[in-house]
């Protein structure tokens, strides 16, 4: 979690710095106010300090001892979605009415009153429902009491920083760390599980070799053997997914690669005589990638497409140059992906197939992204699904690589 710590430290340093500056500003304002005997609105403060206050990225509110706003900056207007005129003179209670908090007793209003009692409040996290767009915003609030030289609290300076993005980032880091740990654990499990499967298949082998084996024993043994093979495939998929690809990139002729893929799928195509194949590949369709990875990805996409058309249809494979990239598409005329599932198809362990592991498409995306490409799809219910893989063109990428070398 170094990132969070780092950011946190930076924020604290930055925020202390700004609070000191603003503290100076408020003292100036209030001091000026005292001399003019006017509690609010505040008199014209020192211009330089006022611009510092206005340019701070944190929303800053300054409250008088009655918890009413006597000054604020632009970020404060943005955060609340209200204008300076609307906010001046507002009570803390009204100002923070849109704030939700898990702990109802500790709301921003109470931060103001605690600060007014002389307490320094540091970085308390709250969720705002921003009035500007209704979107929940996560904020960090700090309160600094502002004193008279006589030690009497004069007002409260409340700084609010929008940490929604930071918080999202921290969640991403946490999630990727969790992902890594799960990966490590899964790799170990896959290894052990493979050994278990190995024992089962060895036992099956021995039983198969035994003389006087009955027909029904043979059937049962082939069922076990098939199940073990499927289990081993699943474990292999998981291992491949976890291993990632480190194979070096070469110039790959997409025309040949796609022909190989279709050849691999030939036995399945022969079983489905009602599937028509449209195969259009431009001349000189060369990409710069790992051939093994691409073969795996496109085999996967073609098999998925065939799976989607058990009652026949059209399999379309195209490869064209488009906008300086190579665009390969694999399309089927199957039922399409239901719209409620579309956002999930690339996530690991998601599958719509009864016997799938779900690692196919997420592995495919990982592989394609590692090749400097991207994968998208278009699916219309009832019309079919087409996957588009865009890859760097061989010449461009090679030139770039040799320049970098």
Is 194 a binder of other proteins (CB under 8 A)? yes
User: Which residue among 47, 104, 209, 354 contacts other proteins (CB under 8 A)?
Assistant: 209
- Under a CB-based contact definition with an 8 Å cutoff, are residues 15 and 161 in contact? yes
* DSSP code, position 333: -
Q: Minimum distance between the CB of residue 202 and other proteins, rounded to whole angstroms?
A: 5
From residue 103, give the alpha-carbon distance in Å to each of 93, 126, 144, 305: 16, 9, 21, 51
Output the smallest distance, CB 180 to other proteins, in A: 23
For residue 169, give the H/E element and its range.
helix 164-209
Query: Which range, of 83-91, 134-142, 187-195, 245-253, touches other proteins by CB under 8 A?
Result: 187-195
Residue 189 in the binding site for other proteins (CB under 8 A): no
381 is an interface residue for other proteins by CB under 8 A: no
When asked if residue 238 is in the footprint of other proteins (CB under 8 A), the reply is no
Instruction: Give the residue with the Cβ less far from other proteins, 3 or 199.
Output: 199
Residue 99 structure tokens: 């704030």
Nearer Cβ to other proteins (192/395): 192
- Interaxial angle between packed helices 164-209 and 2-36, expressed in degrees from 0 to 180 and rounded to the nearest 10: 170
Question: Left, alpha or beta for 312 (phi > 0: left; psi -120 to 50: alpha)?
Answer: left
DSSP characters for 79-99? Answer: HHT--HHHHTT-BHHHHTTTE
- CB 339 to other proteins: min, Å: 43
> Min. distance of Cβ 203 from other proteins in angstroms?
6
Q: Is 163 helix (H, G, I), strand (E, B) or coil?
A: coil
- Choose one: 69-77, 84-92, 204-212, 325-333; the region binding other proteins (CB under 8 A): 204-212
The encoded tokens of residue 367 equal: 């592989």
203 contacts other proteins (rule: CB under 8 A)? yes
Contact 287, 248 (CB under 8 A): no
- Residue from 151, 195, 219, 402 in contact with other proteins (CB under 8 A): 195
Should residue 212 be labelled a site residue for other proteins when binding is judged by CB under 8 A?
no
Which of residues 34, 125, 191, 321 is near other proteins by CB under 8 A? 191
As beta bridge partners, residue 147 has 153
Q: By CB under 8 A, is residue 202 in contact with other proteins?
A: yes
> Which residues 6+ apart lie within 8 Å of 324 measured at CB?
393, 396
**In 111-263, which ranges are E strands?**
121-129, 136-147, 153-162, 250-253
236 part of the interface to other proteins, by CB under 8 A: no
Q: Is 198 in the site for other proteins (CB under 8 A)?
A: yes
Return the range that interacts with other proteins (CB under 8 A); candidates 55-63, 130-138, 194-202, 272-280: 194-202
Mark out the alpha helices in 244-273 (DSSP H runs): 254-264, 266-271
Which one, 84 or 191, has the nearer CB to other proteins? 191
Q: Which two tokens stand for residue 297?
A: 């990805």
| Phi, psi dihedrals of residue 142, rounded to the nearest 5° | -135, 145
Burial class (CB in 10 A: 0-12, 13-18, 19+), 64: buried
- Applying CB under 8 A, the span of 26-34, 57-65, 151-159, 195-203 interacting with other proteins comes to 195-203
Please list, residue by residue across 282-299, b when 16 or more beta carbons sit within 10 angstroms of its beta carbon and e when fewer do.
Answer: eeebbbbbbbebbbbbbb
- Asked whether position 205 contacts other proteins by CB under 8 A, the answer is yes
Using rule CB under 8 A, residue 170 touches other proteins = no
Minimum gap (Å) between residue 225 Cβ and other proteins: 11
CA distance 238 to 247: 18
* Closest separation in Å from C-beta 10 to other proteins: 44
Between 117 and 218, CB nearer to other proteins? 218
199 binds other proteins (CB under 8 A): yes
C-beta of residue 29 within 8 angstroms of C-beta of residue 52 = no
Residue 210 interacting with other proteins (CB under 8 A)? yes
Residue 218 in contact with other proteins, rule: CB under 8 A: no
Number of residues that bind other proteins (CB under 8 A): 13
> By CB under 8 A, which span of 200-208, 291-299, 348-356, 382-390 interacts with other proteins?
200-208
* Gyration radius of the chain over CA positions: 32
Decide if residue 201 touches other proteins (CB under 8 A).
yes
Return residues touching other proteins (CB under 8 A): 191, 194-195, 197-199, 201-203, 205-206, 209-210
């Amino acid at each position: 979690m170094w990132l969070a710590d780092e950011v946190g430290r930076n924020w604290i340093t930055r925020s202390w710095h700004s609070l000191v500056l603003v503290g100076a500003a408020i003292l100036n304002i209030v001091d000026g106010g005292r001399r003019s005997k006017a509690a609010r609105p505040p008199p014209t403060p020192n211009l330089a300090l006022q611009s510092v206050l206005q340019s701070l990225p944190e929303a800053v509110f300054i409250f008088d001892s009655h918890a009413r706003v006597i000054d604020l900056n632009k970020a404060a207007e943005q955060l609340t979605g209200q204008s300076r005129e609307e906010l001046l003179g507002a009570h803390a209670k009204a100002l923070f009415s849109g704030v939700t908090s898990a702990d109802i007793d500790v709301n921003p209003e109470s931060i103001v009153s605690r600060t007014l009692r002389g307490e320094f409040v540091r970085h308390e996290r709250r969720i705002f429902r921003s009035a500007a767009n209704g979107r929940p915003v996560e904020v960090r609030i700090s309160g600094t009491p502002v004193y008279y030289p006589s030690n009497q609290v004069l007002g409260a300076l409340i700084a609010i920083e929008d940490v929604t993005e930071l918080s999202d980032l921290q969640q991403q880091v946490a999630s990727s760390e969790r992902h890594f740990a799960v990966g490590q654990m899964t790799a170990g499990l896959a290894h052990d599980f493979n050994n278990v499967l190995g024992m089962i298949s060895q036992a099956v082998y021995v039983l198969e070799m035994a003389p006087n084996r009955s027909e029904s024993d043979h059937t049962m043994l082939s069922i076990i053997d098939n199940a073990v093979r499927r289990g081993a495939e699943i474990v292999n998929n998981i291992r491949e997914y976890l291993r990632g690809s480190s194979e070096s990139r070469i110039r790959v002729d997409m025309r040949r690669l796609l022909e190989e893929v279709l050849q691999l799928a030939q036995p399945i195509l022969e079983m489905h005589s009602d599937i028509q194949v449209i195969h259009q590949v431009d001349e000189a369709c060369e990409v710069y990638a790992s051939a093994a990875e691409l073969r795996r990805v496109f085999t996967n996409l073609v098999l998925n497409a065939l799976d989607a058309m058990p009652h026949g249809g059209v399999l379309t494979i195209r490869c064209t140059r488009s906008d300086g990239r190579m665009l390969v598409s694999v399309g089927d005329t199957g039922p399409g992906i239901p719209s409620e599932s579309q956002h999930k198809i690339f996530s690991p362990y998601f599958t719509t197939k009864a016997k799938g592991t779900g690692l196919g498409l997420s592995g495919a995306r990982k592989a394609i992204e590692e090749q400097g490409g991207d994968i998208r799809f278009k699916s219309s219910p009832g019309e079919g699904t087409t996957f588009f893989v865009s890859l760097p063109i061989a010449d461009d990428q090679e030139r770039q690589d040799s320049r970098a070398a």
